[in-house]
Chain A
Amino acid sequence: KNQVEQSPQSLIILEGKNCTLQCNYTVSPFSNLRWYKQDTGRGPVSLTIMTFSENTKSNGRYTATLDADTKQSSLHITASQLSDSASYICVLRRNYGGSQGNLIFGKGTKLSVKP
């Protein structure tokens, strides 16, 4: 079973609309949760990072939330732009060993913003 599940797998929205991407996880305990944006054929770029004790973190039009009780995180995109078309990846860092190899990546949600 995947430890980090993202939904939907893909999403198409019109420019200017809002959208919310979901990330459900079973990883516990964890030290932080990140959302990355990956343009097609490029490397991922960090959008937000939240520790397990934080509830929300914003970066411009991107707002991430974290509910540790339900083990859910969401990424809300406001007033979408064509440049928001990308894959969005939820990543959790396991909280043991101090090793930096302990990241668990979701499969990503592919967002397409249409004019």
Chain B
Amino acid sequence: DGGITQSPKYLFRKEGQNVTLSCEQNLNHDAMYWYRQDPGQGLRLIYYSQIVNDFQKGDIAEGYSVSREKKESFPLTVTSAQKNPTAFYLCASSTSDRAGGDTQYFGPGTRLTVL
């Protein structure tokens, strides 16, 4: 059963703690992405990776970190430096077709709440 999975679905964190969100895909996609979604706002790109062992900052990377040690996995760490971490986090993956025909496939999301 191919797809992209995120865990956990709900996550609660105390202020000042780091937390890592999991994202795994078995679609054999080269590129992976992390987005943040807040009520009434469009998705905003946090980080993306076009290939293993390489990643780039998106529009709102401050307070976040990522790693891409395996093609299938792209975990996101929300650090204590992120001022407003409560949000819905979406992971996505796509082929690396630079002609523009790639479609991003999204995971089910993780809702992070900071207490």
Q: A residues within 8 Å of B by Cβ?
A: 2, 4, 31-32, 34, 41-46, 49, 51, 89, 93, 95, 98-101, 103-108
Contact = CB atoms under 8 A, between A and B. Distances in A.
B10 to A, nearest CB: 10
A41 B111 CA distance: 8
Contacts of B107: 43
A107 B40 contact: yes
B31 interface: yes
Contact of A99 (B56, B90, B92, B104): B56
A43 B108 contact: yes
A45 B104 CA distance: 9
A51 B100 contact: yes
Contacts of A41: 88, 108-109, 111
Nearest to A30: B100
A34 B104 CA distance: 10
Interface residues of B, number: 30
Contacts of A42: 108-109
Interface stretch (B12-20, B41-49, B64-72, B73-81): B41-49
Interface in B61-115: 88, 90, 92, 94, 96, 98, 100-109, 111
B58 A100 contact: no
B22 interface: no
A108 B42 contact: yes
Nearest 6 interchain pairs by C-beta: A43-B106, A31-B100, A105-B42, A105-B43, A98-B98, A101-B48
A43 B109 contact: yes
B101 A32 contact: yes
Contact of B42 (A43, A89, A98, A100): A89
Nearest to A108: B42
B58 A101 contact: yes
Contacts of A98: 98
B20 to A, nearest CB: 19
Contact of A34 (B56, B88, B103): B103
B104 A103 contact: yes
A100 B48 contact: yes
